[in-house]
Amino acid sequence: MSSPEHCVHARGCTLIRWCFLGALYVAAAASAAPYPEKPIRFIVGFPPGGAGDLIGRFAGQMLAEELGQPVVIDNRSGAGGTIGADIVAKALPDGYTLLLATTGAITVSPSLQPALPYNPLVDFTAVGMIGNFQNVVVVPIPSPYRSLKELIAAAQRDPGKLNYASTGVGATPHLAGEMLRVLAGAQLVHVPYKGNGPAMTDLLAGRVDSMFPTLPSGLPYIKAGRLRALAVTGDRRSKLLPDVPTVAEQGWPEYRVVNWFGVLGPAKMPHAILEKLHRALVVGLAKPQISERLGSQGVTPESSTPHELAGFMKEEIARWAKLVKSAKITAE
């Protein structure tokens, strides 16, 4: 006959086994739950109304249509997009917090911010690319420079006389100018502003000589006849400005500045959720109405696999690090 102590021990072991099995059942049920079953939070590191915000809203709507759940845009602007990126890096990897990934926060900031609170190559799961757009080299219409070569020649003749505006240190309008300065040996003086609005205002007024705005930001003024486009900064001419040559065409073949947008989630996101998000992104980007809407903003839609996006991020981080070092760019 068993002792009372043995019976208590047996009942305790049985209870532990049932609790363990119950926990396994709950975990299995949770993993089998359909995704998504509630709204998804989409972090956008730009204030409402700008080009980045607009692209984020396009992407959010596209994902919502394909996934059958609302995608709520959460604008967390500041620090070049790193505030929003950090939120996603520290979120649960359950597929309900995503990031509109951008050039600045993911591939430039690691070189400019040594104390960056996340590692872009470790703390995120790459979902896929959305698209890219170029910058454009512009001068005011009254400017005497009618080509990029003329602008560069003038800067070489009289170093330090000509300048260019940017939207802030480390933003692509700044990096685009510095890359040209390094490759062409043209001493254009950098004049940083706090945002696109004041920079564009002074450019239009002729208080600065040139600027390298993003194509979505500069295009309305080019179309209105207020700015002259001298070059686009990507690998090929823009369909929106087919007569404007690339910087590479005009004598600097190594030159390339392209802004990109993609979708990232927190690290260690389950593969099944990643697959569903990636599929929704690819299917959405293939729709003509989405391509047209993005194209109207100067964005070239571009899909990728998660592996391709992760590899691209690694290459871009190394490329921008090289420029930051050679141009001696430091954060404000």
Domains, in order of start, for the chain: 40-133+259-326 (3.40.190.150), 136-250 (3.40.190.10)
**In which band, very low, low, confident or very high, does the pLDDT at 330 lie, cut at 50, 70 and 90?**
confident
What is the identity of the amino acid at 138?
Answer: V
Whether pLDDT at 174 is above 60: yes
Which residues share a beta bridge with 139? 228
Query: Residue 332 — pLDDT band, cuts 50, 70, 90?
Result: low
Query: In which band, very low, low, confident or very high, does the pLDDT at 227 lie, cut at 50, 70 and 90?
Result: very high
pLDDT tens by residue, 41-58: 999 998 887 778 889 999
pLDDT at 260 over 60: yes
Higher pLDDT, 24 or 60: 60
Sign of CA dihedral 212, 213, 219, 222: negative
Please give the average per-residue pLDDT across 140-163, as a whole number: 96
Q: Give percent of the chain with pLDDT exceeding 70.
A: 90
* DSSP codes of every residue in 69-105: S-EEEEE---GGGHHHHHHHHTS-SSSSEEEEEEIII
pLDDT digits (tens, 9 = 90+) for 196-211: 889 999 999 999 999 9
Does residue 118 surpass a pLDDT of 60?
yes
Judge whether residue 1 has pLDDT over 80.
no
Question: Which of 102, 53, 87, 52 shows the shortest CA–CA distance to 312?
Answer: 102
Mean pLDDT for all residues in the chain: 89
pLDDT for 20 equals 47
pLDDT tens digits along 75-109: 998 888 899 999 999 999 999 999 999 999 999 99
Max Cα–Cα distance, the chain, nearest Å? 107
22 versus 197: which is more confidently predicted? 197
Q: Between β-strands 227-232 and 97-102, what pairing exists: parallel, antiparallel or unpaired? A: unpaired
How much is the pLDDT for 32? Answer: 55
CA torsion sign for 199, 202, 203, 207 is: negative
Strand-strand pairing, 210-211 and 163-166 = parallel
Summarize pLDDT for 286-324 with one digit per residue, the tens: 999 888 888 888 889 999 999 999 999 999 999 999 999
pLDDT tier at 23, thresholds 50, 70, 90: very low
Cα separation values, 94 from 33, 34, 132, 190, 284, Å:
11, 12, 27, 43, 21
CA separation for the pair 140, 292 (Å, rounded): 29
